[in-house]
Structure 1
Amino acid sequence: MMALAGNAAAQEVKRTEIGRSPVSGDADKEIVMQLVEFPPGARSPRHFHNGEEAFHVIEGGTVQMPGKEPKERPVGERGINQRGVPHAGYTVVGDRTVKILSVYVVDKGKPLQESAP
């Protein structure tokens, strides 16, 4: 059982960039679209973006924040993460991979995401 838990914990988040384009009329910003896949055991570290993130859950699953009860991320869940506001910090629990389509409008030349406390 411990070996299985160790293997699950070793899973990594997979980010597939679907497209990137400059924002019309603003040379300092770009639009980035990604498919983000969180397999069982993967952790989405607490982070923030140098711009806005709009997301839509396309395959749901169960996640857990430290010290909290597990919570479902259902298909169709959507939202917007504001510039510079920390979010995430959960681990995928259970046996389903969570897949999220994210579209970012961010500062060109800056990291897409940065670690947050």
Structure 2
Amino acid sequence: MKMVLGIALASMLATAASAQDSPFRKELKRGDLTGTNMEIITSISELKPGDVSMRHIHHGDESYYFLEGGTIELPDGKQMPIPTGTVGLNVRDTPHGAYKVVGDKTIKLLTVHIVDKGKPLYDSPPK
């Protein structure tokens, strides 16, 4: 359940089918990961009720922490509450996404991505 929840939650960050970035994301800090061809990106994302995410991947790992929880609706119509304090990790190139924030609460999360430098932070999953 934790892995499914983790994969589902990170999807809220991207919104375009050819995902390059998210309009919900505010980048706080970016820097090189010492001794590698990777970078670390720290961001805050806020998704209001009605905001929709698209399925996407990251070219590296993503860690997240929900500063403010809420409820999301999955593609099958099932609603899932996300409690404040939910924490998780999504591994490289794992497709996740495609849902809508429902209810009356804005969801706010902190993310840290450790990704390949020069590749898009959000990308469309392979078909």
* 8 A Cα contact 1:38 1:92, kept in partner: yes
Q: 1:82 aligns with which of 73, 88, 91?
A: 91
Task: State the TM-score, normalized to the length of structure 1.
Answer: 0.85
Matched, 1:30 2:39: yes
Residue 19 of structure 1 aligns with which residue?
29
User: What amino acid maps onto 1:24 in structure 2?
Assistant: T
- Superposed, which structure 2 residues align to 1:1-117 within 5 Å? 13-26=23-36, 28-116=37-125
Q: Which runs of 5+ in 2 are unaligned?
A: 1-21
Compute the displacement of 1:68 (Å): 3.5
Counterpart CA distance in 1 for 2:85 and 2:117 is 29
* 8 A Cα contact 1:13 1:38, kept in partner: no
Counterpart CA distance in 1 for 2:124 and 2:104 is 27
Q: Which runs of 5+ in 1 are unaligned?
A: 1-11
Local SS of the residue matching 1:112: coil
Q: Which has the higher strand share?
A: 1
Counterpart CA distance in 2 for 1:34 and 1:73 is 19
Give the aligned length: 105
Counterpart CA distance in 2 for 1:103 and 1:94 is 26
Compute the displacement of 1:13 (Å): 4.5
Counterpart CA distance in 1 for 2:70 and 2:27 is 22
Higher alpha-carbon Rg: 1
Counterpart CA distance in 1 for 2:68 and 2:23 is 14
Local SS of the residue matching 1:22: strand
Q: Which has the higher mean CA deviation after the structures are superposed, 86-95 or 47-56?
A: 86-95
Compute the displacement of 1:24 (Å): 1.1
Structure 1 runs, 4 residues or longer, greater than 2 Å off? none
Percent of counterpart pairs with the same letter?
42
Counterpart CA distance in 2 for 1:85 and 1:14 is 20
Counterpart CA distance in 2 for 1:84 and 1:69 is 25
Counterpart CA distance in 2 for 1:62 and 1:25 is 40
